[in-house]
Amino acid sequence: MSKRISLTAHAHSIILQYLTEGDFAIDATVGNGHDTLFLARQVGIKGKVFGFDIQQQAIEATQTKLETEENAENTRLFFHSHNRMDQCIPIEYQGHIKVIMFNLGYLPGSDKSIITQTDSTLAALKHSLNLLAKSGIITIAAYPGHTGGMAETNAVDQWLKQLPPQHSVQSLYSSDKESAPRLYIVKKNKLASPSPKIPFSEIPKSNL
Ligand SMILES: C[S@@+](CC[C@H](N)C(=O)[O-])C[C@H]1O[C@@H](n2cnc3c(N)ncnc32)[C@H](O)[C@@H]1O
């Protein structure tokens, strides 16, 4: 029987192939800090992680998690919407970010009505392309199943389809259901390939 792997665990396993010590990364949706912590550990003390969230509770939870980390000072959290990342990320890091993670939707265990919104998500994705290093990747975990999630996911899907051909987009679906969570991986500066609908288990790592 094949083991079910979560969308974020899958995103982490892909990111591990790109992100090394001393690299720079952005967590565009900090939430409870699991992804921020993962990125901070991966880049180490010589690297840098920037995190964004619009909820004070998320920033505080993540700050608390970071306090027990030996590399905590490599992380800077912004209590701002990710659509301001172009203004918040210091100029010397712009164009040098290796990984940008989006984990869309609502903060687990909190108010489900506070969700990522299509307009700001698309604006942040556009900024992300400019902030990425040449060999960088963006991961987007999208959840069409919650209220508002389908419209946002469809908008992200459409936006990805019109990216210039030097970007490649891989779409991974957790099941055939329209409402199933999905993970997009956007690679900068690769020749475009069609975006097939492939279950996680069938994606060879060399294709990611
Ligand atoms: C699914 S959670 C993220 C989970 C998180 N990455 C983790 O590891 O726990 C989505 C988060 O996006 C945040 N969010 C919503 N709109 C946002 C925006 N415009 N800018 C930044 N964060 C936003 C929510 O407050 C919520 O904390």
Interval between CA 191 and ligand 1 midpoint (Å): 31
Q: Cα separation of 208 and 204, whole Å?
A: 7
Tell me, yes or no, whether 59 lies in a domain: yes
Q: Are 83 and 111 in contact (CB under 8 A)?
A: no
CATH classification at residue 100:
3.40.50.150
- Residue 37 CA: nearest ligand 1 atom is 8
pLDDT at 39: 97
Is it the case that residue 200 has pLDDT exceeding 90? Answer: no
Tell me, yes or no, whether 2 lies in a domain: no
Kindly state the average pLDDT of the residues 139-165: 95
Testing ligand 1's pocket by substitution, the residue of 53, 63, 126 carrying the most ligand atoms inside 8 A of its CB is 53
Q: What is the mean pLDDT of the chain?
A: 90
**Nearest CA owner, ligand 1 atom 5:** 31
Tell me, yes or no, whether 159 lies in a domain: yes
Q: Are 176 and 202 in contact (CB under 8 A)?
A: no
Q: Cα separation of 153 and 140, whole Å?
A: 10
Please tell me the pTM assigned to this model. 0.91
What is the per-residue pLDDT across 32-74, written as a single tens digit (0 to 9) for each?
A: 999 999 999 999 999 999 999 999 999 999 999 999 998 889 9
pLDDT at 206: 42
Q: Are 140 and 169 in contact (CB under 8 A)?
A: no
Q: Where do the DSSP E strands lie in 57-203?
A: 75-78, 97-103, 132-142, 168-173, 182-187, 197-199
Range of the domain at 33: 7-207
| Residues at CB less than 6 angstroms from ligand 1 | 29-35, 52-55, 58, 81-82, 103, 105, 107, 114, 116, 120
117: amino acid identity, one letter: Q
Interval between CA 48 and ligand 1 midpoint (Å): 19
Confidence band, pLDDT 50/70/90 cuts, at residue 208: very low
pLDDT at 139: 98
Please state the φ and ψ torsions of residue 134, each to the nearest 5 degrees.
-55, -35
Based on the structure, what is the number of domains in the chain? 1
- Say which range, 87-91, 145-149, 197-201, 204-208, has the weakest mean pLDDT: 204-208
Is it the case that residue 29 has pLDDT exceeding 60? Answer: yes
- Say which range, 73-82, 96-105, 185-194, has the weakest mean pLDDT: 185-194
